[in-house]
Amino acid sequence: MSANKSGVVRGETILKEIIERRSIRKYKEKDVSKKDIEQILKAGIYAPSAKNRQPWKYYVYTGGKKDNLLECMESGLIRERDRDKLLPNSQYGLPDAFNTLRIMREAPVLIIIENTNGTSPYVEIDTDGRVTEICDTLSIGASVQNILLTAAELGYGTLWIANTCFAYNELVDFIGIKGQLVGAISLGIANEILAPRPRKDFADVVEFR
Ligand SMILES: Cc1cc2nc3c(=O)[nH]c(=O)nc-3n(C[C@H](O)[C@H](O)[C@H](O)COP(=O)(O)O)c2cc1C
């Protein structure tokens, strides 16, 4: 084992892509082939899932359809800023959401993530429903990570996006989602080289007992 510049220990069991993946917020104007998009998304379906429910569905948007979707997201963000707020206590996050929208416009591909078992986070659910939702959300997280790592392996940059939550109702209606909109992934060729973001110390997050 040896430590790289970021101090991350590179062992034989840690994939290069796990260590080298970055959240990419600048993209080149270069399309991604359908074949590569399919290969990347296929990795997502091999993830483990609670009770093997496989609660994910992915919608791929490119070109004019992506532009239309993001116009819809923009109108949702403007509504959230000016009136009828879904998340009144999270307004500090709105500038970041507008910035994420800019990134989504720049990336050639946008993948929308649905939890097909889920319901809107803006309606109440009971405890059983919450436990199921936690398990399904975790399963989707595993699927998304497979997607990000496969994209990295093929030479693409990605950004995992949750800022769709501010424009939730507008996006769900536009896309025709019947379950829960979990978020999105932007995908394309990176137009930036980034140092790793800091990580908590290993000793602070792992306890041997
Ligand atoms: C569930 C989730 C949601 C995220 N949502 C956003 C987002 O909406 N906009 C954004 O710019 N970054 C978003 N990120 C990226 C994080 O900011 C990023 O992963 C974190 O800062 C660590 O950086 P790294 O991915 O380069 O290691 C999200 C990441 C996760 C896992």
Print pLDDT tens along the chain (209 aa): 444 444 455 555 788 999 999 999 999 999 999 999 999 999 999 999 999 999 999 999 999 999 999 999 999 999 999 999 999 999 999 999 999 999 999 999 999 999 999 999 999 999 999 999 999 999 999 999 999 999 999 999 999 999 999 999 999 999 999 999 999 999 999 999 999 999 999 999 999 99
Phi, psi of 17 (to 5 degrees): -65, -30
Beta strands in the chain (DSSP E): 2-3, 9-10, 56-62, 109-115, 157-161, 180-188
Structural domain range at position 68: 23-193
Residue 77 Cα to ligand 1 middle (Å): 18
- Ligand 1: residues with CB < 6 A are 22-23, 25, 100, 159-163, 183, 197
pLDDT attached to residue 14 = 80
- Give, for 84, the enclosing helix (H) or strand (E): none
What's the CATH code of the domain at 66? Answer: 3.40.109.10
Tell whether 143 is covered by a domain. yes
Distance CA 69, CA 164 (A): 11
Tell whether 135 is covered by a domain. yes
Tell whether 134 is covered by a domain. yes
User: How many domains is the chain partitioned into structurally?
Assistant: 1
For residue 32, the SS3 value is: coil
Residue 160 Cα to ligand 1 middle (Å): 5
Tell whether 201 is covered by a domain. no
Closest among 160, 205, 204 to 184, alpha carbons compared: 160
Tell whether 204 is covered by a domain. no
Tell whether 4 is covered by a domain. no
